Amino acid sequence: MNKKILFRLLGPVIFLLIIYFFVDLNQLKDIILKIKLLFFTLSIILSPVVIFIRSIRWRRILKKFKVTYSIGKCFRIYFVEMVAIMVIPIIGTFVKAVYPKRDGHGFLRPILSIISEKYFDYLLLIIFGVISVILTRFKMGGSISIVILLLVACSLFIPAKQSIVFLFSQIIPKWIKKLFSERGWDISKHTSDVEKSLDPGTYVLSITGFGVYFIAVYYLIRSLNINLDFSQVVLIMSITSLVTLIPISFLGIGTWDMALIVVFKWFGHTPEEAVALSIALLLLRVAIVFMGAIFWFIDPPPFLELKRINKYE
């Protein structure tokens, strides 16, 4: 068995250990059976909205690299990425690059466009996490916390953009560096290209996408009758999303549970509530995979190019 796949089996093992040692199955069952389907449905409905916003952002970045796609095409490709990032180990988000490659735009520009958008994604998770820690520390919830969160995040655009100069070479995965090296691309020469693509519009779309995502998770938490305010939801999802980047699981099984149990404890919530939310998030991701599978079969990614990417990992 492939070592990377074997390593990812740690996640399900962690999940089983958590269930065995920390969770009362009867309490977990009660929480799940009392789910409010209206809020759960709203969460599912908002998921394509998040993807649509991020599709507009990717199209905007692609144009900076002289690749022109329609919003509809970017939306379809982004949905395919959602399938890949949850099903295919490691390749994940860079599956989008194979479509422009197939369409004659080469590999370099699409990969740089993906690095650009993911830079803001990962950086904003840290920014949102820090801001929500402060808001939670001073017990600021409700509408005021949302306003402060947005104002502070927007005000940090310039330092967020400029920091790419120092972080560019550090944030690129090793397999991407290997790809650059084999093809004779100098990573340092493309730092300015990525920086130019990070304009205010892209930043605002990134914040908007996260905002809708946090609202979707807020409704998901409401569906489970868990009492958390919006700033707490932002803090929980920022921390747990970063933790789940550790490649030891499929679909976040095990890593979500572990991270949620730790963070939920800060707010006086039980392991059963944490695992219930993890299961609900899993169901949400499965729903996205089913939606994305439609676009995958309509316009599947070029498998030869996927194989070429995979060899670098």
* pLDDT value, residue 142: 67
How sure is the predictor about 96, in pLDDT bands with cuts at 50, 70 and 90?
confident
- Res 250 pLDDT > 60: yes
Expressed as residue numbers, the domain containing 293 is 3-17+25-310
Mean pLDDT confidence for 184-193: 76
Domain count, the chain: 1
Specify the pTM. Answer: 0.87
* pLDDT value, residue 119: 87
Give the Cα separation of 87 and 285 in Å (integer).
11
* pLDDT value, residue 63: 93
Mean pLDDT confidence for 12-31: 86
Provide the b/e sequence for 183-206 (b: ≥16 CB within 10 Å): eebebeebbebbbebbeeebbebb
Q: Calculate the alpha carbon distances from 88 to 208, 212, 246, 289 in Å.
A: 27, 26, 14, 12
- Res 121 pLDDT > 80: yes
User: Which of the two residues, 85 and 57, has the higher pLDDT score?
Assistant: 57
Give the Cα separation of 226 and 240 in Å (integer).
17
* pLDDT value, residue 6: 63
How sure is the predictor about 235, in pLDDT bands with cuts at 50, 70 and 90?
confident
Q: Read out DSSP for 200-220? A: HHHHHHHHHHHHHHHHHHHHH
* pLDDT value, residue 133: 81
How sure is the predictor about 93, in pLDDT bands with cuts at 50, 70 and 90?
confident
